[in-house]
Structure 1
Amino acid sequence: MKNIIKPLFSVAAIGLMCSMSGCLKQGLDELQNSNQKAMTSVDYTYRFLYTDTIQKGTTKQEIVPDRVCEVLFKKNVVSTKENDLDGFTTTLSYDINSVLKAGPTGSVTKAMLFAEFDKQIRKSQLSRLWVYVTVSDVATIIPIADAPKLGSPGDFSKDHVYQVKAADGSTKNYFIKTIPGF
């Protein structure tokens, strides 16, 4: 009896796996050879570390170093064209609501973080921004010349050019111009 159950279980398991496949056979765009290479948006953040004290003055007091404060800029983005390149000119601004404070509430307030950020950004201006862009599905983005790698801190005090490469290998260059509105 054991010899019959094992093969039946194997056949049933294979049949179940095949019937539960998430692959669609029709109605999908052909993306592996896509020529789509659009850059459609650009976003900016600023991050810095701070030390906080949780449950200050109690027996459960805990000093938490290296907490990350992230600031999401307000932005006015304009799609423009310069030197035959499409791109984005973005004017950045901020207020206290731009400051994001994550984790348990400690002794550091949002107002304190805003004051620290304001001091740092006025000193560093655009030299430590985290920039993210949205590109077409299955496209990749490559910094050109001295353009900073996206998704890590970089200097955006001058214009930069990025190349968007479609899945079919075709490319298009875009510029990113950042203007401090503060």
Structure 2
Amino acid sequence: MKNIIRVVSLSVVVGCLTLTGCLKSGMEELTNSSDKVLSSIDYTYRFLYNDTIQKGTDKQQILEGRMCEVLFKKNTEKIEEGGLEGFKTTISYDANSVLKAGPTGSVTKAMLFKEFEKLIKVDQLNKLWVYMTISDVATVTGVKDAPKLGSPGNFSTDHIYTVRAADGSSKEYLIKTVKGF
């Protein structure tokens, strides 16, 4: 029994000493990076719908609360206004902007597009999900009333976001969203 414990203990010690993470070798050190670049912005809109799978059969199943995401087309230009760099993005959409995931049921992409058109006429630039691409190991936060990223927000007015680098330095960016639909 003592021999088994010794062998297991020795194996654990040897394993701990020889097994290292593969990501530690040859990687650029970014912990004190001063990079604070906001390089791109993407806009989506999401809504829930119900779908019926295998409609009209004994295996018919209604799936409630499925999510449809609409990825807006965008035309982005760099701007400088009021001493701030930023982006002016005109967003638009077409039927191909609708992303339907999951198993095919009775709801078609065309049906989802019609539903989206009804919703977006009311919501306009409200309830948009925005994604920003920033420098590695940097963070981004909204200034004042800027919508929190990761949740739907109102982009009918201009907003400022701060990108903070790993070394603590920061840069503010102006975000203008223009309705192109």
Same fold, TM-score > 0.5, yes or no: yes
Moved more, 139-148 or 9-18: 9-18
Which residue does 1:33 correspond to in 2?
32
Which residue does 1:172 correspond to in 2?
171
TM-score, scaled to structure 2: 0.93
Q: Aligned equivalents of 2:111 and 2:70: distance in 1?
A: 13
Q: In the comparison of the two structures, how many residue pairs are matched?
A: 181
1:98 partnered with 2:75:
no
In 2 relative to 1, CA 150–17 (structure 1 residues): closer, same or farther, beyond 3 Å?
same
The 5 A counterparts of 1:7-156 are: 7-22=6-21, 27-156=26-155
Give CA-to-partner distance per residue, 1:132-163, whole Å, 9 cap, x none: 10111111111101000011100001110001
Structure 1 counterpart of 2:12, one-letter code: A
Structure 2 counterpart of 1:153, one-letter code: P
1:30 Cα offset (Å): 2.5
Give CA-to-partner distance per residue, 1:100-151, whole Å, 9 cap, x none: 1111111111101001101111221101100010111111111101000011
Q: Aligned equivalents of 1:5 and 1:111: distance in 2?
A: 66
In 2 relative to 1, CA 109–32 (structure 1 residues): closer, same or farther, beyond 3 Å?
same
Give CA-to-partner distance per residue, 1:24-73, whole Å, 9 cap, x none: 66643332222111111111100001111111111111121111110011
In 2 relative to 1, CA 25–55 (structure 1 residues): closer, same or farther, beyond 3 Å?
closer
Q: Aligned equivalents of 2:95 and 2:73: distance in 1?
A: 11
Structure 2 counterpart of 1:149, one-letter code: K
Structure 2 counterpart of 1:74, one-letter code: K
Moved more, 130-139 or 77-86: 77-86
Q: Give the unaligned 5+ runs of structure 1.
A: none
In 2 relative to 1, CA 23–107 (structure 1 residues): closer, same or farther, beyond 3 Å?
closer
Percent identity at matched positions?
A: 61
1:167 Cα offset (Å): 1.3
Moved more, 70-79 or 21-30: 21-30
What is the RMSD of the two structures over their aligned residues, measured on CA atoms?
1.5
Structure 2 counterpart of 1:98, one-letter code: S
SS in 1 for 2:146: coil
Structure 2 counterpart of 1:13, one-letter code: V
SS in 2 for 1:47: strand
Which residue does 1:181 correspond to in 2?
180
Q: Give the unaligned 5+ runs of structure 2.
A: none
Q: Aligned equivalents of 1:134 and 1:18: distance in 2?
A: 38
SS in 1 for 2:75: strand
TM-score, scaled to structure 1: 0.93
